[in-house]
Amino acid sequence: MVTLTRIYTRSGDKGKTSLGDGTRVGKHDLRVEAYGTVDEANAVVGLARLHAEGAMMALLQRVQNDLFDLGADLCTPAAADEVPGTRLRVVQSQVDRLEAEIDAANESLAPLASFILPAGSPLAAHLHHARTVVRRAERLMVALSDVEAVNPQAIIYANRLSDLLFVLARVANGNGAEDVLWVPGGAR
């Protein structure tokens, strides 16, 4: 468990921050961008939770905890000699749980016959917003994986999470009945 007695340390005042392994990098470092975007996604999921109830609220709380796991995974570069299980990493069971949640939520939805706009109820709108931030985090993670080692399960988790958030947004829109459909060229 983490204990914080002081919130500010002044150690980042010159544009540097510490990764989970103690390495100092610029705050613009691609790894910092990736886990910072995961943190942003977590905040947007928190906004969605303000409008959620019951099972949806519990599911979103689990997602928020997973997003902290994902941030911890990303902030600590894998060492060449890392022993599996010694660092907090996203694991296959977290991906499997997302896939089961996607399948369960999708069962009540009619198949899509059109693209939908990120709109509808306040809960749906926040879930769509969270989805787009998770997609950005995923893109940053993939870019990071081109230059440094990234846990492949972390990238897969982000991919599945954006799918889950999309499906949950449809659920929040009256199981898709209140989805706002895209009308190609409709605003011309």
Model confidence at 80, in pLDDT bands (50, 70, 90)?
A: confident
Mean per-residue pLDDT over the chain, rounded = 94
Task: Give per-residue pLDDT as tens, 2-37.
Answer: 777 778 888 778 889 888 888 998 899 999 999 999
Instruction: Write down all domains in the chain, each with its CATH number in brackets.
Output: 20-76+88-177 (1.20.1200.10)
Q: How many percent of the chain have pLDDT more than 90?
A: 80
Query: What average pLDDT does the segment 80-107 reach?
Result: 93
Tell me how far apart the alpha carbons of residues 178 and 144 are, in angstroms, rounded to a whole number. 38
The lowest-confidence range among 52-61, 163-172, 177-186 is 177-186
Give the integer Cα–Cα distance in Å for 186 and 178: 18
Predicted pLDDT at 79: 83
pLDDT band at 128 (very low <50, low <70, confident <90, very high): very high
Asked whether the predicted pLDDT for residue 157 surpasses 80, the reply is: yes
Cα of first residue to Cα of last residue in the chain, in angstroms, is: 55
Local confidence band at 83 (pLDDT 50, 70, 90 cut-offs) = confident
Q: Is 69 exposed, middle or buried (0-12, 13-18, 19+ CB in 10 A)?
A: middle
Main-chain phi, psi angles of 172, to 5 degrees: -65, -20
Sign of CA dihedral 42, 130, 15, 17: positive
Band (177; pLDDT cuts 50, 70, 90): very high
Which position has the higher pLDDT, 185 or 80? 185
pLDDT digits over 32-73, tens only?
999 999 999 999 999 999 999 999 999 999 999 999 999 999
Secondary structure tally for the chain: helices H, strands E:
5, 4
90-112: average pLDDT: 96
- Give the mean pLDDT of 169-182: 96
Greatest extent of the chain over all pairs of C-alpha atoms, in Å = 58
pLDDT at 149 over 80: yes
Quote the percentage of the chain above a pLDDT of 70: 99
- Write the DSSP string, 134-168: HHHHHHHHHHHHTTS---HHHHHHHHHHHHHHHHH
